[in-house]
Chains A and B, each alone.
Chain A
Amino acid sequence: MGLKQLLGLGKATFSHGIHPPEYKAVTGSKAIRRLYFAPEMILPLSQHFGAPSIPIVHEGQEVVRGEVVARADGFMSVPLHAPATGIIKSIGLTRTARGPRVPAIVLKLHAGVSQEVLYDSPQDTSEMSPAAVIDAVKETGMVGLGGASFPTHVKMTVPEDHKVHTVMVNGCECEPYLTTDHRVMLEYSMDLFAGIQVAMKATGAEKAIIGIEDNKPDAIKALRNACPADGSVTVGVMETKYPQGAEKMMIKALIGKEVPSGGYPSSVGVSVFNVATLAQLGALLPQGHGLIERVVTISGPGIEKPGNYLVALGTPLRFVLDQLGFQGDARQLIVGGPMMGSSVASLDVPVTKGVSGILILTEEGISKQIPKKTWPCIRCAYCVQACPIHLNPSELGMLAAKRQYETMEEKYHLNDCFECGCCTYVCPSGIPLVQYFRIAKAINRENRERAA
């Protein structure tokens, strides 16, 4: 890898990683369309990383589209806005994609309302101080739309001892099937540049790089043409490889630096935002709107009308799928990308802020993919050659099978694993390595908490 880059042969990338099939052709060329509103919306209070929002409405209260229905609980939290005009039906527990029930607000829509956003307070970010920008961002309820749902305003707050010189805009979209970012870059490029300005202002960076994988030449071309003349924003082209879109991998690929283990991108002077996040921000901030809808790729062989849809947050999956022609069951359903997304526990779960895709695979397709049998690790080292973090998943997996979770953390850098799934993808023995690591991390965390 290093040699290739030196000779100028290869494109910018990181070492290791995998090349899964892309499956992007179906939806990549389709323009974004709006989906109908569902009669009932479910709004989990924790759609982001951090403390759940606190409801400020009560049952039976009427809310207007765009109105704040739950406020942020502290810094590491964001407010929640009503995605539609209607009446609060209930506030209680509901199912989520990953299984456990969480508190949520259920909103019953008024039929026949125009569903225009009437709740706003236009503002001009160019006149504001960075701190004020960050506050404004927080008020939009914006989180990372790439899937991690990390509150954007937290990300924009640079730790005091660090200095950020570059805003990196993540347009890789390395997960197969997903094309939301691709479409956003093509269709909302003006909003994107506005968002980039906001991010640069908030973090104090002088320049920005939009990183795009080379499988989206039209987006590269469009954005290159739209870049401001002063050169403050450039487009960086990277090799198409999974997980190119992971923060750490992108930083390595574009500026050749490594984020220290356990550290933040700001330690190397970088802040990374998803293109969808910044584009949304660029659209919402000037009008003072909240985050109430997002673009979702709905794709896979099991759906009749695949495409990219603008979906109101809170729309139940059942409704989405009914609209687009799906007759299967939840077993074939994945929320997120096929590499890191999770299969859903119920069709009643809603589309939340972090849902970038809904994939409907066929049962035959899945059973062909997932090995019927698990063999012991044969030390083929495919995983070692795939792990973008250069861990030794084979060793980690064996330790996990013997429940030596502490050794995994102390000696084999378990906590550097960001669960990209490359190791499991390549494992000929069909060992669910990522799951092992997830469990190991959870148990270690629990043990630490118990000890503390």
Chain B
Amino acid sequence: MNNRTPIIELRGAPHLRKAPSVDQIMRNVVYALLPICGFAVYQFGLSALALILATTLACICTEHLFCRLSDKPTTIGDFSAVITGLLLALTLPPGFPLWMAVVAGFVAIALTKVMFGGIGFNVFNPALVGRAFVQAAFPVAITTWTPAFAPGRFTEFIPSTLTLPFVVPKSVAGWVERIAVDGYTGATPLALQKFGDGNLEHVTTQNADLFFGMTAGSAGETSALLILVCGAYLAVRRMMDWHIPAAMLLGAFVTSGGFYLVDAGAYPTPLFTLLSGGLMLGALFMASDMVASPTTPRGVWIYGILIGFLTVIIRLFGGLPEGVMYAILFGNAASPLIGAFTQPRVYGTGRKKATKP
């Protein structure tokens, strides 16, 4: 082409871009999750590995399938389905039957994402909806915990893992008894604390154990330190809004601290609250899900604190030992409202002008 004939192609300003693209962000979240997955596999062995693979594959396949069905180009390239799959696996008990994990993955993508128009429109965190669904559907299987660092975990599966589809999983009680050593039992620190022996004595796990992940629990929630480090990686790279985890941890800390001050005998210490259960994982990787959280600076704080508060309330007074999942889902549900009431004050408009919903 003659370079004297200009090619008319008007591009709008700005002509500079800086941001990481969506797939870059998503890929980095995956990188940040990989060490946690690695630790889960190290801790729980083959079953955790199978679980992670199962949910991830289920999520990817579901997304691909629906894209094919609706004649759209496949969207699995943006890694968001992978994130959903990994997060889902990390929140499930390590011995969770694989077929149930696949159900969870399918529900997560189909119900929360595809249904609403794909990435960017999932008003709830898909992984959590998937988990909440299987929690309601298979309440027994999802509260069956197995001990960490079981001997022979790299050579054999936890018996419940390989349950046939649509079949009740085998009881793992006998297996746990056989392999349990050094006092590692299947009970999670939270369950011990809540349903501890007798009605009054609460058994609390050592904070150091919680910090380094030497306990039973969901596949990827056990090591607070590792999760913090991986989350910090994202926050430093500005691929996660650090305000949300900060607000959520603050909310949980203050709420549980308040109760602890009122009655130190009945309530766990705030530190225990922060380190136990899925609070860390939820705060750093799920509540901070960009799509389902508010976009306004003030809204982000309210959202985080609300989730932290609800988590503690459900843990202390609810029927379940763990409340992070429900608290975050509630936060997701409330985030449009929070957003509507906390629109930023626009430059040059009155200071007190509240935006009417």
In the complex, is A directly touching B at CB under 8 Å? yes
B331 to chain A, nearest CB (A): 14
Bound-state CA distance A61–B7 (Å) is 35
Across the interface, do B13 and A380 meet the contact criterion of CB distance under 8 Å? no
> Is chain A's interface secondary structure helix, strand, loop, or mixed overall?
loop
Bound-state CA distance A375–B73 (Å) is 12
Across the interface, do B295 and A371 meet the contact criterion of CB distance under 8 Å? no
B209 close to chain A: CB less than 8 A: no
Across the interface, do B15 and A426 meet the contact criterion of CB distance under 8 Å? no
Q: Nearest residue in A to B6 (C-beta to C-beta)?
A: A330
A157 close to chain B: CB less than 8 A: no
Across the interface, do B22 and A20 meet the contact criterion of CB distance under 8 Å? no
Given contacts A328-B3, A381-B295, A416-B348, contact A376 B117 (CB under 8 A): yes
- Enumerate B262-303 residues with CB–CB distance to A below 8 Å: 290-293, 295-297, 300
B162 to chain A, nearest CB (A): 37
Across the interface, do A370 and B17 meet the contact criterion of CB distance under 8 Å? yes
Across the interface, do A261 and B7 meet the contact criterion of CB distance under 8 Å? no
Q: Nearest residue in A to B343 (C-beta to C-beta)?
A: A392
A333 to chain B, nearest CB (A): 8
Which A residues are CB-close (under 8 A) to B120? 375-379, 429
A243 to chain B, nearest CB (A): 10
Across the interface, do B348 and A424 meet the contact criterion of CB distance under 8 Å? no
Across the interface, do A340 and B14 meet the contact criterion of CB distance under 8 Å? yes
Bound-state CA distance A7–B234 (Å) is 29
Given contacts A384-B295, A392-B295, contact A432 B348 (CB under 8 A): no
Q: B1-23, CB under 8 A of A: which get 1 and which 0? A: 10111111111111111111111
Bound-state CA distance A429–B80 (Å) is 13
Q: A243-260, CB under 8 A of B: which get 1 and which 0? A: 000001000100000111
Which B residues are CB-close (under 8 A) to A390? 344-347
Q: Nearest residue in B to A259 (C-beta to C-beta)?
A: B348
B62 to chain A, nearest CB (A): 18
Task: Name the contact of A428 in the complex, choosing from B9, B14, B22, B343 (C-beta under 8 A).
Answer: B22
B41 to chain A, nearest CB (A): 29
Which B residues are CB-close (under 8 A) to A416? 346-349
Which A residues are CB-close (under 8 A) to B4? 347
Across the interface, do B13 and A379 meet the contact criterion of CB distance under 8 Å? no
- Enumerate A403-447 residues with CB–CB distance to B below 8 Å: 411-413, 416, 419, 421, 424-430, 432, 434-435, 438
Across the interface, do A18 and B3 meet the contact criterion of CB distance under 8 Å? no
B209 to chain A, nearest CB (A): 35
What count of chain B residues pass the 8 Å CB interface test?
A: 48
Bound-state CA distance A260–B349 (Å) is 6
Across the interface, do A338 and B10 meet the contact criterion of CB distance under 8 Å? no
B124 to chain A, nearest CB (A): 13
Across the interface, do B16 and A413 meet the contact criterion of CB distance under 8 Å? no
Interface size class on chain A is 35 or more
Which B residues are CB-close (under 8 A) to A339? 13-16
Bound-state CA distance A334–B7 (Å) is 13
Across the interface, do A376 and B15 meet the contact criterion of CB distance under 8 Å? no
Bound-state CA distance A293–B204 (Å) is 79
Bound-state CA distance A444–B124 (Å) is 34
Q: Nearest residue in A to B295 (C-beta to C-beta)?
A: A381
Across the interface, do A258 and B348 meet the contact criterion of CB distance under 8 Å? yes
Q: Nearest residue in A to B77 (C-beta to C-beta)?
A: A373
A307 close to chain B: CB less than 8 A: no
Which A residues are CB-close (under 8 A) to B17? 369-371, 424-425, 427, 430
Q: Nearest residue in B to A368 (C-beta to C-beta)?
A: B17
Bound-state CA distance A276–B262 (Å) is 67
Across the interface, do B6 and A329 meet the contact criterion of CB distance under 8 Å? yes
Task: Name the contact of B24 in the complex, choosing from A248, A331, A338, A428 (C-beta under 8 A).
Answer: A428
A320 to chain B, nearest CB (A): 14
Bound-state CA distance A379–B120 (Å) is 7
B245 to chain A, nearest CB (A): 15
Across the interface, do A381 and B290 meet the contact criterion of CB distance under 8 Å? yes
Q: B198-211, CB under 8 A of A: which get 1 and which 0? A: 00000000000000
Which A residues are CB-close (under 8 A) to B296? 381, 384, 392
Task: Name the contact of A411 in the complex, choosing from B10, B21, B345, B355 (C-beta under 8 A).
Answer: B355
Across the interface, do A331 and B15 meet the contact criterion of CB distance under 8 Å? no
A15 to chain B, nearest CB (A): 9
Task: Name the contact of B6 in the complex, choosing from A263, A347, A421 (C-beta under 8 A).
Answer: A347
Across the interface, do A338 and B14 meet the contact criterion of CB distance under 8 Å? yes
A94 close to chain B: CB less than 8 A: no
Given contacts A379-B291, A381-B241, contact A361 B344 (CB under 8 A): no
Given contacts A378-B120, A389-B347, A435-B12, contact A330 B295 (CB under 8 A): no
B31 close to chain A: CB less than 8 A: no
Which B residues are CB-close (under 8 A) to A384? 295-297, 344
B118 close to chain A: CB less than 8 A: yes
Which A residues are CB-close (under 8 A) to B8? 330, 345-346
Bound-state CA distance A321–B67 (Å) is 48
Q: B145-171, CB under 8 A of A: which get 1 and which 0? A: 000000000000000000000000000
Task: Name the contact of B16 in the complex, choosing from A176, A330, A411 (C-beta under 8 A).
Answer: A176
Which B residues are CB-close (under 8 A) to A328? 3
25 chain-A/chain-B pairs, Cβ below 8 angstroms: A21-B16, A248-B348, A252-B347, A261-B349, A329-B6, A339-B13, A339-B16, A341-B15, A345-B8, A345-B10, A346-B6, A370-B11, A370-B15, A377-B120, A378-B22, A379-B293, A381-B295, A389-B346, A390-B344, A416-B346, A424-B14, A425-B18, A429-B22, A429-B120, A434-B12
Known: A334-B13, A390-B344, A438-B12. 13 other contacts (CB 8 A): A20-B18, A248-B348, A260-B349, A262-B348, A330-B7, A331-B9, A339-B14, A376-B117, A381-B241, A381-B300, A424-B17, A425-B14, A427-B19
B interface, CB within 8 angstroms of A: 1, 3-25, 78, 117-121, 241, 290-293, 295-297, 300, 339, 343-349, 355
